[in-house]
Structure 1
Amino acid sequence: MNHRRRCIDKIQTINSSKKTVSRLSLVAVTVISNLVTPLLAPFTSIATPPRNPDKSVNCDILVAGGGLSGAATAYEGLLAGRTVCLTEITDWLGGQISAQGTSALDERPTQRAKQFYSRGYLELRDRIEKRYKGNLNPGDCWVSDSCFLPKDGHEILRDILKDAEKRGRGKLEWFPNTVVKDLQKSADGKIIDSAIAIQHQPAKGTPPINSLPLSQTIEDAFSYENSPRFNKTIIRFIPKQTKIVNAPKWYVVDATETGELIALADVPYRLGIDPISHLEPSSSSQTNDQYCTQGFTYTFGMEATKDPQKQTMPPYYMNYSPYFSYELKRLADFDLVFTYRRIWSPKKGQPKTFGGVKFTTPTPGDISMQNWTWGNDYRPGTAGDNLVYTQQQLRSLGQLNPGGWKGGLRNESLSKAEEKAYSYYYWLVAGTTDSQLGDGVKTPRSNNRFLAGFNAPMGTAHGLSKYPYMREGRRIIGRPSWGQPGGFTISEVDISRRNYNDEYYRNNLPADMYRRLRATLSGLEAASVISGKIDPNKAMRRTRSTIFPDAIGIGHYAIDFHPCMEKSPPEAPGNRERPGERRGAGQAYPFQIALRAMIPQKIDNLIVGGKSIGTSHIAAAAYRVHSFEWSAGAAAGTVAAFSLKHAIAPYQLVDELPKIEPKLIALKQLLEKNGNPTAFPDTSIFNQNWEDWK
């Protein structure tokens, strides 16, 4: 016990440092982890029924997940005067821009130049610029027009929501360090009547929140019982409304990073690769492969120093070193990689060009956030190592039983991804190998230090992001719709700029599938292509994205893949990306978010936002960036508030399509009036000229 107390005291002494950045070396982080982990091992218990809640909280809108989509949902709900309850597994708002560390806004040039975004996203950008005294890019990074410190992202969003609460006369109930554990449904299963959540705080005499990485705390966070590490508060969320009849009294929004609530609610969804079809012609698989989702990443911060630093090899480094690479010769430069997502640069370096990219060289005090495909990406893709458990896996593990939910993630993969992130840092500063380019391109750069501590960029004692950056999770299958009797989904062909007239598609797709593909893309000539009156290779190709009559948001980004690896473990020597996975990658037209993609089957008061809307695997690779997440969240918050006001369920706004839906028109008008675009300028079936949208 005295040994345990001394270890805890040692951590608390380090954490109490008043330095701007706690500059723990990698060896210090490893030592602390080794000391504390055996003493505070993850607490687990057999799934038990929930104890009586410690308190009940009334909401108009319950939002699970405090990332950008969840924050945007809350923003619009508050401006509409509603009581919004917002839960988040970490203690930071913002997801990608804060807790996940990817505080570099992914944007397309034309949309950025025209500033054509949702009103809340524009406010976010404006406040970032004001925070840094007129500089939207204090990191002077080259991947984005805005790279900044993650903690500032959280604080800016916190202030935005506080102001929205005042302006709209709504009420925000904010629950950090909180996870949704159980959903209680009506007798017919169509309504979520209440939700049970767990909020955790450090037990007396234990290290603060964010002392240990997620893999060592996640199972404990989802346990009802108090543990040696955490004290728990059990919260029951219930509707605030009592007068509404014949319609939902409240709405629950799944804005989690992996679609936790859609798994808990057991509504139809997809994971991983979709089978090849005329709608998903670039798929790498003939059948559905649930285990191959895009890679996830623990980001971290590193600082350039004047003098060389002592670098200590992690004990597990050799397990991961066969993986690391600059990837391409045009990227094989340390300065280029460091400045790629540099989030702080107090003094500009010298201009430099490498591989056609212009940037300024790092100077002492510069801070880089690392997020690199052949670096700290972790890319499992088999049934034995996939991160996001499938429905079948969840059932076999008992996680869909009452009280059995533990977050739906494979803890071993989280742990290995954490080790890999530490190892990637060591490779950057001390490694000499390169798995893709061979020896001779990599030289050590030891004048850098790993940043850890509560005042460091990631706000954690261990230095890794509080939560991994998630590119893909569960994706709902919407309700059957006209043209999609199996359930609504936004597919590859709805957004891709590819013309599909090349040799691969002509030779590899079955003739009838290829004909249907060309017909889908040919608009008014579709019937003639299907009947054989027009050669599919000569049919006019639509040069825009699909226009949805129920569009309630927008997005634009390339179809960008970080594919899973072919074999397990992903870091195995000689492993390669799943063959064919990058075929669907490429440019996309400016696209829309359909309301039908946000309405799950079976449950009438569950709305889905963020990355879990109804998209295919390939389309999801574009529907995942910052501005999209905000637009989807703004739509979710507006739909929830609108539905409460009009005593209507969201599915009733689209159930008569393609007939005219008067209330759907009113909703779209409200979104536009509020500064939340539902279409890009000049969107119509007659405008086929989108080449200027870069």
Structure 2
Amino acid sequence: MKNKNVQKADFVVLGGGLGGCMAALAAAKSGLRVIMTEETDWIGGQLTSQAIPPDEHRWIEKFGCTRTYQEFRNRVRAYYKMNYPLTDEAFQNEVLNPGNGWVSRLCHEPKVALRVIEDMLAPYTSSGRITILYQYRVVDAVTDGDLVTCVKVRQHHSYKEVTLQGTFFADATECGDLLPLAGIEHVMGAESKEQTGEPHAAEVADPLDMQSITHVFAVDYVEGGNFTIDKPKQYDYWRQYVPQNYENLPLLGWLVPEISKNGTIKEYALFKGKLGQWWESLFNYRRIIDKSLFKNQLFLSDISLINWPQNDYHLGAIYGVSEHERSKHLEGARQLSLSLLYWLQTEAPRLDGGKGYPGLRLRKDVLGTEDGFAKHPYIRESRRIKALYTITEHDVSKEIRGQQGIRKYDDSVGVGHYYLDLHMTTASHRSLYIPSYPYEIPLGALLPIRVKNVLPACKNIGTTQIANGCYRLHPTEWNIGESVGYIVSYAFKNQIQPHDIRQDSKHMQAFQRMIQEQGIQIHWPDDIELP
């Protein structure tokens, strides 16, 4: 890999999403020099460039996440209170939810998340301890036995290539892009029941049977306005499309099968539903601005991020396929979202008997783009390392574990909780929503079976496709990345490899003490009231 443009660091983090940012931050706090790449011009991944408000658990305001994640949430609320003219009631609310969206206790603008994350990294980017290379994607890797020695990254618009050398590397890319380039053993898509023994695994393994992606967009609503977009080129296709296993219902419609209740159909509406129940409004689902919380009619309308079942794109994979296939499906996801918007503006049934909401307006400013669409599609599933320990449905399913309760690991490096939530997959079109217990993050799931100096720091840890359904969410990815940053710093300072931490009980105990001192919770309270 001959390249005059070479940069060196103790730790090279590929991917600037939540996991990547926290891996970089933890390592930099520990004194390491870090280079981090990011595909877009916004760091923060799910919260920013992919425009997904945080999916969290019921205990999030008190425990069940890292100290830095709590700090992030506090900083978001403080940002609104410092900079926005909130009503007195909103200002006094310790658990302010700027959008009052019902998906999360903290629905907020992606640009605010970006500012907060940049502020958290600022001491280390300003001092040069963290260098961020924007709009770069990994394109090659060089290995020496069980070690990666360097990677090559390429900038999108300039095609400039940079070789990055490091002692340790983290793959925090959204799709696990480093894994195949470096020959790191990994899996993709769906495992079979025969392989994993999981009751909800696919009947037949299929590496291209992955969870759907979603191209999120931002809208507000101006009553009486007309902001109808041009008819999308694939609209006629999507208008007639009926997904397999979808109860013969069109994808673009208000009737949606409930994943958790076989044969049950849920009816939604754009705004308040027929029964006057707030949760029936899909507009409120991921609403990031509730105009009633702000003084002086600051916002003329609420603002919402559109990530619904109706724009989950499930017709094909965007990695593990040719570049042509990748481009086709990325454009397909965008066309589906455009078609959903056009349907909403022109044909969606209204509760008053009319059709269409032409007052829906794309908010280009909200996501920092020219078209009002997120800078990057929301990716729910990545390539996943073959790890020393693979987390399966048996580790987290409430039904399977029963009276055993929470699965505890001696090598835990964090905690999380979410349903086993599998969005419609690209081949079998399976969907799942399985009750789960709170879970821990075992170090063994972060260690590749062979390669020694590369760690996963995103949705690419050692889980099955089913278990990934809960380990992929914001607080867990954050925790994974932060723990990886400390794993690397501990290994660097002790002149060992990450695998040695788990193999030596003294190192394991010392490392766990260290991360607990840094505010990483490694076990759930014994007296927690389980769902």
TM range (shorter): 0.7 to 0.9
2:152 equivalent among 196, 209, 217: 196
Alignment partner of 1:154 is 2:114: yes
Alignment partner of 1:261 is 2:178: yes
Partner of 1:121: 69
CA deviation vs aligned residue, 1:312-361 (integer Å, no higher than 9, x gap): 42232111113213315644211111111111223369xxxxxxxxxxxx
C-alpha separation in 1, matches of 2:125 and 2:516? 21
1:271 equivalent among 188, 211, 215: 188
Partner of 1:447: 359
C-alpha separation in 2, matches of 1:118 and 1:88? 23
C-alpha separation in 1, matches of 2:288 and 2:190? 33
Partner of 2:218, secondary structure, is: strand
Q: CA deviation at 1:93?
A: 0.9
C-alpha separation in 2, matches of 1:548 and 1:310? 54
Partner of 1:517: none
Is contact 1:69–1:633 with CA below 8 Å preserved after alignment?
A: yes
Q: CA deviation at 1:257?
A: 0.6
Partner of 2:136: 178
Q: CA deviation at 1:433?
A: 7.1
Partner of 1:40: none
Partner of 1:661: 505
Q: Map of 1:263-412 to 2, 5 A cutoff?
A: 263-277=180-194, 280-311=197-228, 312-322=230-240, 323-326=251-254, 327=256, 330-335=266-271, 336-347=281-292, 364-373=300-309, 375-380=310-315, 385-389=316-320, 410-412=326-328
CA deviation vs aligned residue, 1:51-85 (integer Å, no higher than 9, x gap): x5352212111001100000110110111011111
Partner of 1:160, secondary structure, is: helix
CA deviation vs aligned residue, 1:597-655 (integer Å, no higher than 9, x gap): 11113311001111000001110000011100110011100000000000111112224
Structure with a larger share of its residues in strand: 2
> More deviation in 488-497 or 557-566?
557-566
TM-score (norm 2): 0.86
Is contact 1:274–1:283 with CA below 8 Å preserved after alignment?
A: no
Q: CA deviation at 1:310?
A: 4.5
Unaligned runs of 5+ in 2: 82-90, 241-250, 258-264, 272-280
Question: Would the alpha carbon gap of residues 277 and 589 (structure 1) be closer, same or farther in structure 2, given more than 3 Å must change?
Answer: farther
Question: Would the alpha carbon gap of residues 347 and 264 (structure 1) be closer, same or farther in structure 2, given more than 3 Å must change?
Answer: same
Is contact 1:331–1:337 with CA below 8 Å preserved after alignment?
A: no
C-alpha separation in 2, matches of 1:147 and 1:285? 34
Partner of 2:31, secondary structure, is: coil
C-alpha separation in 2, matches of 1:257 and 1:287? 25
Is contact 2:189–2:209 with CA below 8 Å preserved after alignment?
A: yes
Question: Would the alpha carbon gap of residues 553 and 126 (structure 1) be closer, same or farther in structure 2, given more than 3 Å must change?
Answer: same
Q: CA deviation at 1:676?
A: 0.9
C-alpha separation in 1, matches of 2:352 and 2:470? 35
Question: Would the alpha carbon gap of residues 284 and 190 (structure 1) be closer, same or farther in structure 2, given more than 3 Å must change?
Answer: closer
Unaligned runs of 5+ in 1: 1-49, 200-220, 222-229, 240-249, 350-362, 398-405, 480-487, 500-520, 522-540, 568-576, 683-688
Is contact 2:208–2:426 with CA below 8 Å preserved after alignment?
A: no
Question: Would the alpha carbon gap of residues 310 and 256 (structure 1) be closer, same or farther in structure 2, given more than 3 Å must change?
Answer: closer
Is contact 2:211–2:426 with CA below 8 Å preserved after alignment?
A: no
Q: CA deviation at 1:367?
A: 1.0
Partner of 1:132, secondary structure, is: helix
Partner of 1:497: 398
Partner of 1:251, secondary structure, is: strand
Partner of 1:87, secondary structure, is: strand
**Residue type at the aligned position of 1:341:** R
C-alpha separation in 1, matches of 2:354 and 2:412? 48
Partner of 1:490, secondary structure, is: coil
Q: CA deviation at 1:280?
A: 3.9
Alignment partner of 1:680 is 2:511: no
Alignment partner of 1:555 is 2:416: yes
Question: Would the alpha carbon gap of residues 671 and 468 (structure 1) be closer, same or farther in structure 2, given more than 3 Å must change?
Answer: same
Is contact 1:598–1:607 with CA below 8 Å preserved after alignment?
A: yes
Question: Would the alpha carbon gap of residues 634 and 284 (structure 1) be closer, same or farther in structure 2, given more than 3 Å must change?
Answer: closer
Question: Would the alpha carbon gap of residues 543 and 440 (structure 1) be closer, same or farther in structure 2, given more than 3 Å must change?
Answer: farther
Higher Rg: 1
Is contact 1:300–1:370 with CA below 8 Å preserved after alignment?
A: yes
C-alpha separation in 1, matches of 2:495 and 2:403? 39
Q: CA deviation at 1:555?
A: 1.1
Paired-residue identity, %: 28
C-alpha separation in 2, matches of 1:149 and 1:80? 31
Partner of 2:471, secondary structure, is: coil
**Residue type at the aligned position of 1:191:** L
Question: Would the alpha carbon gap of residues 100 and 619 (structure 1) be closer, same or farther in structure 2, given more than 3 Å must change?
Answer: same
Q: CA deviation at 1:162?
A: 1.1
C-alpha separation in 2, matches of 1:67 and 1:599? 20
C-alpha separation in 2, matches of 1:273 and 1:291? 7
**Residue type at the aligned position of 2:338:** Y
Q: Map of 1:555-634 to 2, 5 A cutoff?
A: 555-564=416-425, 577-578=429-430, 581-582=431-432, 585-634=433-482
Question: Would the alpha carbon gap of residues 284 and 93 (structure 1) be closer, same or farther in structure 2, given more than 3 Å must change?
Answer: same
Q: CA deviation at 1:440?
A: 11
**Residue type at the aligned position of 1:60:** D
Partner of 2:25, secondary structure, is: helix
C-alpha separation in 1, matches of 2:194 and 2:182? 28
C-alpha separation in 1, matches of 2:253 and 2:512? 47
Is contact 2:98–2:293 with CA below 8 Å preserved after alignment?
A: no
Is contact 1:55–1:235 with CA below 8 Å preserved after alignment?
A: yes
Q: CA deviation at 1:551?
A: 0.9
C-alpha separation in 2, matches of 1:286 and 1:307? 51
2:374 equivalent among 458, 465, 477: 465
Is contact 2:55–2:474 with CA below 8 Å preserved after alignment?
A: yes
Partner of 2:276: none
TM-score (norm 1): 0.67
Q: CA deviation at 1:559?
A: 0.8
1:76 equivalent among 26, 36, 48: 26
C-alpha separation in 2, matches of 1:60 and 1:565? 39
Question: Would the alpha carbon gap of residues 278 and 267 (structure 1) be closer, same or farther in structure 2, given more than 3 Å must change?
Answer: closer
Question: Would the alpha carbon gap of residues 604 and 441 (structure 1) be closer, same or farther in structure 2, given more than 3 Å must change?
Answer: farther
CA deviation vs aligned residue, 1:466-489 (integer Å, no higher than 9, x gap): 11111101111113xxxxxxxx21
Question: Would the alpha carbon gap of residues 331 and 442 (structure 1) be closer, same or farther in structure 2, given more than 3 Å must change?
Answer: farther
Q: Map of 1:19-58 to 2, 5 A cutoff?
A: 52-58=2-8
Tell me how many residue pairs correspond in the alignment: 487
Is contact 2:125–2:131 with CA below 8 Å preserved after alignment?
A: no
Question: Would the alpha carbon gap of residues 615 and 409 (structure 1) be closer, same or farther in structure 2, given more than 3 Å must change?
Answer: farther
Is contact 1:61–1:84 with CA below 8 Å preserved after alignment?
A: yes
C-alpha separation in 1, matches of 2:206 and 2:154? 33
C-alpha separation in 1, matches of 2:19 and 2:334? 25
Partner of 1:671: 515
